Amino acid sequence: MGFAGSKFAKVATVAISTVSLGVITASAATPAMAKPPVCGEVDCPSLVPTHLGASQATLNVTQMQLENLSATATEAITGRPLVGALIEFFTTDGRKLGSAYTGYDGSAGISASENFGPGTVQELLSGYNAVLVGDGVHATASAHGAITIGTDCASSAP
C-alpha cells in the first residue's frame, strides 16, 4: 500500500469516527425532547391554575355499568377549555375506573363496566373522583361527582 493508500485509510477512519460522534451527539439531544415533568402547584408555582368540574354519573343496574362519568377542565383565570388533557376517574376508595383525554370543549367522559362484588354499591354511592393529570404547564386539579342508581328501562305513561 503506497502513501496515497495509507492517507486514504486515515481520512476514512477520521470520517467514520466523525459520523459516529454525530450519532452519539444526536442521541444525547433526545432527552431534551422528553415529556415535561409532572408536578403540582406547590412544586411548580409557575403552573397555570386550572379548574375541574365533575358531572353526576349513573350506576345502571340493568347493564351493570357506570355511565356518564365526565369532567370538564378549564384554565381558572381565562376560563378557556383545556384540550388534550388527561383526566383519570377513581372511586372514592381510590380504585381506578378509567381515563380519557379532553376534547375541544375541555370535557372527557367514560362508561365503566362494574363488577358488583361485596361492598361495591356502597362504595359507588359515595361518588367518584375525577383528577386532571398535570402536564408541566397546567396545575393538577380534582373534582368529586355524585353517582345515582338508575336503569335503562323507560317507564310507560298511561
Q: Cα(66)–Cα(95) distance, rounded to whole angstroms?
A: 14
Looking at the fold, whether 28 and 55 belong to one and the same domain comes out as no
Q: Cα(39)–Cα(45) distance, rounded to whole angstroms?
A: 9
Identify the residue with better confidence: 119 or 71. 71
What does the block give as the cell for 119?
361492598
pLDDT tens digits, residue range 26-72?
333 333 333 444 554 455 668 999 999 999 999 888 877 889 999 99
- Could you tell me if residue 41 is inside a domain? no
What CATH number did the domain enclosing 110 receive?
A: 2.60.40.10
Looking at the fold, whether 91 and 145 belong to one and the same domain comes out as yes
- Could you tell me if residue 38 is inside a domain? no
Looking at the fold, whether 29 and 70 belong to one and the same domain comes out as no
Domain limits for position 95: 50-150
Measured CA distances, 73 to 23, 93, 100, 105, 140 (Å): 42, 23, 12, 9, 10
Q: What is the pLDDT of residue 116?
A: 62
- Could you tell me if residue 158 is inside a domain? no
Domains in the chain: how many in total?
A: 2
Q: What is the pLDDT of residue 64?
A: 77
